[in-house]
């Protein structure tokens, strides 16, 4: 079913509504967001100029925003942000940690705004040993966002000792409910596995949902996955590694942007890009 979610901004502050308009399509109200905050977790994503080159390349593909940590922003040419939005990631954890599910705040909303952020994002691992602290951090950031009129993207995952297999549809819906109740304006979630299952998650919350790309796959598979995900009615995609780590990042990002925003009449354009 192709009933794409178009989030309403009527209940948002003017500041949040204005900033959201910078990171979503003005016609479809959907967005393709490319997270590039992975380097704190796993290390360098490429050579010294990788972020600078990648953001500049992606700026011409039709994506709506990138997610970066505050320190990386200064490495990217300012003109790259004339055509895409900036989401500053506020939480972090590393793959070298004794608790890889732990996330701590490494920046604040006010500092992100000074850096030019259109929105901020946080990562929350529900079910982890540090869930209580991560929820407390979520509440703190949410309050700051309300005061400053900054949209909040909550990246919600079920991780911890009780999570032993793929996340169930019910759990994904629960994650969406937590994010909505704590004040997220946008929610990033794992894919529920099928359009029907994901549509049930979309139907459970009023907040716009953006689906993560998951494990790295081939370029063609990433494009096909994006099309499948968008058929569930979500507000957009949040594909990171499957874009910046693609064999041809520009091709994948462009194809996914066309899919998200439906700038294709009969599907021939996506077929050509694929």
Q: Which of 103, 118, 185, 188 is catalytic?
A: 188
Which residue reads 């910078």 in tokens?
22
SS (H, E, C) the chain: CCCCCCCCCCCCCHHHHHHHHHCCCCCCCCEEEEECCCHHHHCCCCCCCHHHHHHHHHCCCCCCEEEEEHHHHCCCCHHHHHCCEEEEECEECCCCCCCCCCCEECCCHHHHHHCCCCEEEEEEEECCCCHHHHHHHHHHHHHHHHHHCCCEEEEEEECCCCCCCCCCHHHHHHHHHHHHHCCCCEEEECCCCCHHHHHHHHCCCCCCEEEECCCCCCHHHHHHHHHHHHCCCCCEEECCHHHHCCCCHHHHHHHHHHHHHCCCCCCHHHHHHC
188 is catalytic: yes
16 is catalytic: no
Q: Which of 25, 101, 118, 157 is catalytic?
A: 157
Q: Which of 37, 101, 118, 190 is catalytic?
A: 37
Residues annotated catalytic, as ranges:
37, 157, 188
């Amino acid at each position: 079913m192709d009933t794409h979610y178009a989030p309403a901004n009527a209940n948002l502050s003017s500041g949040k509504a204005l900033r959201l308009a910078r990171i979503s399509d003005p016609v479809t109200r959907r967005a393709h967001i490319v997270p590039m905050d992975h380097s704190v977790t796993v290390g360098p994503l490429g050579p010294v100029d990788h972020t600078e080159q990648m953001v500049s390349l992606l700026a011409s593909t039709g994506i709506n925003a990138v997610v970066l940590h505050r320190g990386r922003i200064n490495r990217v040419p300012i003109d790259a942000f004339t055509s895409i939005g900036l989401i500053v990631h506020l939480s972090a954890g590393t793959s070298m940690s004794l608790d890889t599910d732990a996330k701590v705040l490494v920046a604040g909303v006010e500092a992100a705004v000074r850096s030019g952020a259109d929105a901020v994002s946080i990562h929350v691992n529900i079910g982890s040993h540090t869930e209580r602290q991560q929820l407390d951090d979520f509440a703190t950031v949410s309050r700051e966002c309300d005061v400053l009129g900054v949209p909040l993207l909550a990246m919600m995952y079920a991780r911890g000792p009780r999570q032993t297999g793929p996340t169930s549809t019910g759990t994904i819906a629960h994650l969406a409910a937590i994010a909505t109740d704590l004040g997220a304006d946008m929610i990033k979630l794992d894919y529920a596995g099928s359009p029907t299952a994901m549509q049930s998650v979309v139907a459970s919350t009023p907040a716009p949902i953006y689906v993560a790309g998951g494990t790295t796959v081939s370029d063609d598979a990433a494009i096909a996955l994006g099309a499948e995900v968008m058929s569930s009615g979500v507000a957009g995609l949040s594909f990171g590694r499957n874009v910046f780590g693609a064999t041809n990042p520009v091709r994948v990002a462009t194809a996914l942007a066309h899919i998200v925003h439906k700038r294709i009449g009969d599907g021939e354009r996506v077929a050509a890009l694929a």
